[in-house]
């Protein structure tokens, strides 16, 4: 009985160490910090990954025309034909960093990834100002952008993921 208990403990311990030991297949190459930085494009709600740079609404207004955003979103961003950028839409997003991230990765459509960090800060400032979320003179950069208070910030419900496990019933279960 004692031996059995000991055996169980040994097995349990070896399982833990196997986990902690790390690479077991010796496949894949360890990425350097530099490789991670160039590969990664995502910017989280805290804005930790934001690059150096800055911009204002006035600069953004010029970039909006120079970079052809007007071509799809209209002369001031609210005429279309592409989604209206003033009133509703992005004004309802819970984080300002998300607007930066989306313009940076996905706009201008068909020329994605062509904007400089300064241009993206300026465009974000222009759109936030047009939506009356920041002042005309506000400068957006690595530190100020994550602090912008979006009106919908309080409506965002952090998903209860800590509780998610296989077989969890959906929060949207409808009782017929």
Partner 1 sequence: MTEKKASRRCFLRQASLASMAAGIAVGTAPALKAQMEMMPSAGTAAASSPGGAAPPGNPTDRLAYGVRSRHEKTLRSFDVDPLHMHFGRMMNVYTPLQDLVGSITPTSLHFVSAHGYVPPDIEPTSHRLMIQGMVDRPLVFTVDELKQLPATSRIMYLECQANRPEYKAERVDLSFGKTACVQWTGVLLSVLLKEAGVRADAKWIVAEGSENGRMTKSTPLSKAMDDALIAYGMNGEAIRPENGYPLRLLVPGFEAIHSVKWVRQIKVTDRPYMGFQELSRYSPRNPKGIEFTFAQGAKSVITNPSAGQQLTRQGFHEIRGLAWSGGGRVSKVEVSVDGGKSWKEAALQGPVLPVAHTRFTLPWNWNGEEAMLMSRCTDELGEVQPTLAQFAKFWGATSAEFLAGTASGAGHSNSIQPWGVRKDGSIYNAIS
Stretch of 56-64, 92-100, 121-129, 130-138 contacting partner 1, by CB under 8 A: 92-100
Structure tokens at 60: 């953004």
User: In the 8-state DSSP scheme, what is residue 54?
Assistant: E
Look-up: residue for tokens 């936030």?
128
Compute and round to an integer the Cα radius of gyration of the chain.
24
- Asked whether the beta carbons of 140 and 119 are under 8 A apart, the reply is no
Say which residues have a Cβ less than 8 Å from residue 96's Cβ, sequence separation at least 6: 124, 128, 133, 145, 146, 148, 150
- Decide if residue 1 touches partner 1 (CB under 8 A): no
In the block, tokens 């019933």 appear at 169
> CA 71, 77, 78: angle at the middle one, nearest 5?
115
Q: Which stretch binds ligand HEC (CB under 6 A): 42-50, 62-70, 134-142, 166-174?
A: 62-70
DSSP structure string for 100-115: HHHHHHH-STTSTT--
Chosen from partner 1, ligand HEC, none, partner binding at 81 (C-beta under 5 to 8 Å by type)? partner 1
- C-beta closer to partner 1: residue 92 or 137: 92
Report the DSSP beta bridge partners of residue 54.
141
Stretch that binds partner 1, among 6-14, 57-65, 98-106, 120-128 (CB under 8 A): 98-106
19, interface contact from partner 1, ligand HEC, none, CB < 5-8 Å by kind: partner 1
Residue 73 contact, options partner 1, ligand HEC, none, Cβ 5-8 Å cut-off depending on partner type: ligand HEC
Q: Quick check: 64 binds partner 1 (CB under 8 A)?
A: no
- 83, 87, 113, 136: residue in contact with ligand HEC (rule CB under 6 A): 83
Binding status of residue 28 toward partner 1 by CB under 8 A:
yes
Q: Does 172 bind partner 1 (CB under 8 A)?
A: yes
Q: Do 136 and 60 contact (CB within 8 A), yes or no? A: no
Work out whether 2 is an interface residue with partner 1 (CB under 8 A).
Answer: no
Binding region for ligand HEC (CB under 6 A) out of 3-11, 32-40, 80-88, 137-145: 80-88
């Amino acid at each position: 009985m004692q031996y059995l208990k000991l055996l169980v403990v040994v097995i349990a311990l070896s399982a833990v160490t196997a986990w902690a030991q790390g690479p077991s297949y010796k496949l894949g190459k360890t990425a350097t910090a530099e490789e991670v930085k160039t590969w990664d494009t995502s910017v989280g709600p805290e804005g930790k990954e934001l690059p150096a740079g800055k911009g204002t609404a006035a600069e953004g207004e010029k970039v909006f025309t120079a970079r052809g955003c007007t071509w799809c979103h209209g002369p001031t961003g609210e005429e279309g034909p592409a989604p209206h950028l003033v009133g509703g839409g992005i004004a309802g997003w819970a984080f300002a960093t998300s607007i930066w991230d989306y313009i940076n990765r996905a706009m201008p459509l068909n020329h994605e990834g062509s904007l400089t960090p300064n241009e993206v800060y300026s465009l974000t400032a222009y759109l936030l100002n047009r939506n009356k979320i920041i002042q005309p003179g506000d400068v957006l950069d690595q530190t100020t952008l994550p602090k912008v208070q979006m009106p919908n910030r309080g409506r965002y419900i952090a998903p209860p993921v800590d509780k998610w496990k296989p077989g969890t019933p959906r929060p949207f279960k409808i009782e017929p």
